[in-house]
Structure formats: structure tokens, C-alpha cells
Amino acid sequence: MDIQFTETPALIGLDWGTSSLRAYLFDATGGVLDSRHSASGIMHLPKPRESGGFDEVFESLCGDWLNAHAVPVIAAGMVGSAQGWAEAPYVAAPANCGPLIGALKTVCSSRGAAIHIVPGIIEHGAFPNVMRGEETQIFGALAAQPELGAGGKTLIGLPGTHAKWAFVVDGHIERFLTFMTGEVFAVLRDYTILGRTMHPCAGSDDEAFLRGVDMAVHCGATGVLSTIFSTRTLGLTGELRPEQQSDYLSGLLIGHELAGLSNHLAGEDSTLDDWKLGLIGGADLCERYRTALARIGAAEARILHGTTEHGLFHIARDAGLLPAIARAH
């Protein structure tokens, strides 16, 4: 089937994570002409990597695009991990786009298409930290919102399974923190006694959520291992209804995350007010973090949209993968 576009395609971008894959078809200015989604993340391929699992998914999702226009391909995320299509070794923080571009890893598909994989970033130290995919989102945010990186300091949060907080100074990711907030929430809800008394509900309960935030921030000196049990005891004493307990636990864990972030900053004689705040992620979860940040008195955080698309396009453009006409924009 022939594919017709009003603008000429110039690039395919892949956001290939653990559980899913999203593909974007860009024009020469970075506009998205088409996008597609697949549940075939690197851990859910239809066949093993050694048997061409990555190639099969890539062909099924992007083959007709490439048949119509032989454009370059760039990919970010867990596709570049040791379990991915080809491992793209981490670059060390602090880093801007330059080291990422210099360390792009290229793998060829069965049709001969070169897929350029963006490496992740590693922070060495007593507590080594890594990210894959988030760096592309962060640099995409800076490209889309230049004022974020113009002088001063920006703190970008990426809520999710493994929440990240990246400290960006003068366009460089200087360092970052990881909080396993989302994964711990899911485990506690689904596999511990805390979930036994929870009842699912259609909406969210902001009152219960904020009660959890307050508990973590103001009564959490004994640590998260102590305070999480209050999810059960407040239910036993009738102070939390079963349908409120999940939101309370969410607020409790996010509150501990933000308290830990604030303590980290205090150790550097800094506060959240010293940083421009941005959030990247799903709309509902980012709004929940904004609510929690407001509760602890932080300045309003901006929710940043389209960061993956901007990051993929601008890294490809700066790497010289696009035609000269695209690089001129």
C-alpha cells in the first residue's frame, strides 16, 4: 500500500522501552507526521533477540515507512541496554548532548537500515546511578523550552516506576537521583497485607493523598518502613475507608520521595526554591506530583510535553543524520 504524506518524511524515531515501543515519523522541521505504538517492549518481543525478535518488531512497525522513504532511524531507551538490540555503553555525567552524539551505537536491520541508538548516562560514586531514555526526554525538554536551560539551574522530575530527579546546569545533566516509588507502590498494593483491605475506585481521593504526603513530610522521621504500616492501621481504626487507602499510600510514598529530595538539597545548602522545576511523564501522575509539591510549599512545576519527540529529533539533527535542509531549521 502506498503511503502519502503532505510533508516529506526525514527521520524515524523510536522510543523503545522495557514494556512498550513508540515510533515517530518526522518531517524535516521535527513535526510528527505519524506515530505508532506497540506492546513489544524489549521484554515482550514475539521471539528472542537471537532469533531476530527486534528486527521482526521493527519491520512490522516501520517497514512500510521505509519502503516509501529511506530515512535515517534513531532510537532511545532500553533498546540500548545489555538486553536490548545492541548495547550502547553509558556516558558519564556530567553530560550534555555532545557525548551522547559521539557515542551513538549503530545496528543494522535485515533490510540494511542503520538504527542509531542513544546511550544512557551513568553517574559514578558511592551510589552509582543510571538512566536510559530519560536523557533524551530531558534534552528534548531543553530543546523545546530553551528558557529552562538558559542560565540558572533546572530540576526536572520524571515520575514513574523508577522516578528520576535530574539536576541540569547550563545544559548539562550534572547528576540525578532515582526513587523506586512507582515500583514499591505497586508491590505494596499487590503483594503485601496492605493491599488486602484496599478497594479500587474509579477516581482519586485528593484528601487521602494529601494526608499521606503530610504523614511522610511531618511525621516520617522514623522512615518509610515505619510509616507505610499506617496504611493498614488507619484502616483498622476507621480513619481511612478501603477506597481511600491506595491514594493514601501513594501520597505517603511520594511524600517520602520529596522529603528525601529536599534533604538531599539541604545537604548542599540549597532548597527547591533555588531551582526551576519541570515534570515529564503521564499527565495524571505529573498532576499528582504537582499537588504534592504545592503541599510542601515548592514553586509551581511546569509539566513538559512532547519531550521524547523533541529529544529524538534534535539529537539526530545535531548528530548530522538528517539532510542538510533539516539541519538548517
Do 163 and 279 meet the contact criterion of CB atoms below 8 Å apart? no
Instruction: Tell me the average pLDDT across 136-158.
Output: 89
CA 173 to CA 107: how far, in whole Å? Answer: 26
CA 305 to CA 299: how far, in whole Å? Answer: 19
pLDDT at 136 over 60: yes
pLDDT band (50, 70, 90) for residue 146: confident
Average pLDDT in the chain: 93
DSSP string, 106-117: EEE-TT--EEEE
CA 169 to CA 284: how far, in whole Å? Answer: 28
pTM: 0.92
**Beta partners for 175?**
167
pLDDT at 2 over 70: no
Q: Could you tell me which residues come within 8 angstroms of residue 50 by beta carbon, excluding any fewer than 6 positions away?
A: none
How are beta strands 121-123 and 129-131 bridged, if at all? Answer: antiparallel
**Beta partners for 108?**
114
pLDDT at 75 over 60: yes
All structural domains of the chain, each given as residue ranges with its CATH number in brackets, are 9-122+307-327 (3.30.420.300), 178-303 (3.30.420.310)
Q: Bigger pLDDT: 66 or 329?
A: 66
Q: Convert the pLDDT of each residue in 265-281 to its tens digit.
A: 999 999 999 999 999 99
Instruction: Tell me the average pLDDT across 103-124.
Output: 97
pLDDT at 323 over 80: no
pLDDT band (50, 70, 90) for residue 239: very high
Count of Cβ atoms closer than 10 Å to residue 121 Cβ: 24
Backbone angles phi, psi at 16, to 5 degrees: -110, 105
Q: What is the pLDDT of residue 328?
A: 46
Q: Convert the pLDDT of each residue in 14-39 to its tens digit.
A: 999 999 999 999 999 999 999 999 99
Q: Convert the pLDDT of each residue in 176-220 to its tens digit.
A: 999 999 999 999 999 999 999 999 888 899 999 999 999 999 999
pLDDT at 133 over 50: yes
Would you call 15 helix, strand, or coil by DSSP?
A: strand
